[in-house]
Structure 1
Amino acid sequence: MPDTHRDPEKREDKPRLPEKPSHAEEQLDEALEESFPASDPPSPARPEGRKPEKN
């Protein structure tokens, strides 16, 4: 007997996300963390990551 209750998470037309990030995504995440550490708050002298103007 077919199951008449369909789980919305298992719909066929919904794109499935991979269980684990791809190797390339892991490398990108690591590179971003090295460039922009999460523990380093933005400096008030450089709001929104803009480069300081040279005089």
Structure 2
Amino acid sequence: MLHYALIFLVVAIIAAVLGFGGLAGTFAWLAQLLFVVFLILAIISFFRRAT
């Protein structure tokens, strides 16, 4: 999931450089959403293994 977040971030940066602001914003939002989901799942996984 972190891999896809980084891909969306790179695509957002490329779209922003090329002048596609709306598309860049959408991809940046998707990258942020996937990163937050990754963090939540990583924390849950950490605490399940710690017990």
TM-score, length-scaled by structure 2: 0.33
Higher Rg of the two aligned structures = 1
TM-score, length-scaled by structure 1: 0.31
Pick 1 or 2: higher relative contact order, CA cutoff 8 A, min separation 6: 2
